[in-house]
């Protein structure tokens, strides 16, 4: 069966510090991968998606970046965090077929102080 | 423009009663899918049910059913025989055939509280 991991689970970082969140998927190959952010009490906003190694598409301009160094690894990064980067970050995967459901990781709760 | 609209920020229902959570959507793509997810306080997103735009019958999964009215562009979630564990945020989402990377478009969610 497939599983998706995210770490860390929670993170408190000062403004201006770097960020690296990691997501890995097990039990499948060549998945589509997604990073979403959820602000407190809000829906999910798509940040990045990837259809293959090294292929990253950005949906929202911001100071975040994403990379996919391996087929089942997706990393979200920032060189300098802003207060507005606080939120709940969710990684998701699917099989890349139009009408398949997405499966979500447990999420990372980021607080920028 | 908002593609998914959930007009109920919060809902209450008594245990064992049925509840309907509203969702309307906006698309000109003839091929799309509608999804409902549950998010308990732990934060994980749990997939509940899916309805395809070409499906003739309403989707059902256990106590969950989707009331799909294509002409009205609505996809309401019905939870029958509510349980205390159903208390959570519920999100409606849509994926269009032409969505970049087939990403999901989410509504703002409805908070459901099930009372004893």
> In this complex, do A104 and B50 lie within 8 Å of one another by their Cβ atoms?
no
Name the closest residue on chain A to residue B89, using Cα atoms.
A41
Chain A contacts in chain B segment 20-79 (CB below 8 A): 31, 33, 35, 37, 42-47, 50, 52
Please determine, for residue A99, whether its predicted confidence score (pLDDT) is greater than 80. Answer: no
pLDDT band at A43 (very low <50, low <70, confident <90, very high): confident
Average pLDDT over residues B43-70: 94
Tell me B30's DSSP state: S
Tokens linked to B114:
């099930």
With pLDDT > 70 as the criterion, what percentage of chain A qualifies? 98
Determine the residue among A2, A6, A9, A44 to mutate to test chain B binding: the one whose Cβ has the most chain B Cβ atoms within 10 Å. A44
A57, A99, A105 member nearest B95 (Cβ): A99
With vertex at residue B92, the alpha carbon angle to CA A51 and CA A106, rounded to the nearest 5 degrees, is 60
- Tens of pLDDT, residues B66-96: 999 999 999 999 999 999 999 999 999 999 8
Q: Residue B104 forms beta bridges with which residues?
A: none
In angstroms, rounded to a whole number, what is the distance separating the alpha carbons of residues B49 and B36? 5
pLDDT, position A18: 97
User: Which residue of chain B has the CA closest to A106?
Assistant: B44
Nearest CA in chain B to A102: B47
Burial bucket for residue A70 (CB in 10 Å: 0-12, 13-18, 19+): exposed
Whole-number percent of chain B with pLDDT over 90:
84
Chain B residues touching residue A97 (CB < 8 angstroms): 102
Angle, CA A68 vertex, CA B91 and CA A50 arms, to 5°: 45
Q: What is the predicted pLDDT for the residue at B112? A: 97
**Residue B102 pLDDT greater than 80, yes or no:** no
The DSSP line for A55-102 is EEEESS-SSEEEEEEETTEEEEEESS--GGG-EEEEEEEE-S-TTPPP
Q: How high is the pLDDT of residue A61?
A: 65
């Amino acid at each position: 069966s497939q599983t998706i991991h995210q770490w860390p689970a929670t993170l408190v970082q000062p403004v201006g510090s770097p960020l690296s969140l990691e997501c890995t998927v097990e039990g499948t190959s060549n998945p589509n991968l997604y990073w979403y952010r959820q602000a407190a009490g809000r829906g999910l906003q798509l940040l990045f998606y990837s259809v293959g190694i090294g292929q990253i598409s950005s949906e929202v301009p911001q100071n975040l970046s994403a990379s996919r160094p391996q087929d089942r690894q997706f990393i979200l990064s920032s060189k300098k965090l802003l207060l507005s980067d606080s939120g709940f970050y969710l990684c998701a995967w699917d099989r890349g077929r139009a009408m398949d459901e997405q499966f979500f990781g447990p999420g990372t709760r980021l607080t920028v102080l | 423009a908002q593609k998914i609209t959930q007009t109920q920020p919060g809902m209450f229902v008594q245990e064992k009663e049925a509840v309907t959570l509203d969702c309307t959507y906006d698309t000109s793509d003839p091929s799309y899918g509608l999804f409902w997810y549950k998010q308990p306080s732990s934060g994980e997103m749990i997939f509940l049910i899916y309805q395809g735009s070409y499906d003739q019958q309403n989707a059902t999964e256990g106590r969950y059913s989707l009331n799909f009215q294509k002409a009205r562009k609505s996809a309401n979630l019905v939870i029958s025989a509510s349980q205390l564990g159903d208390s959570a945020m519920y999100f409606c989402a849509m994926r269009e055939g032409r969505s970049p990377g087939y990403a999901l478009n989410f509504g703002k969610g409805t908070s459901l509280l099930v009372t004893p």
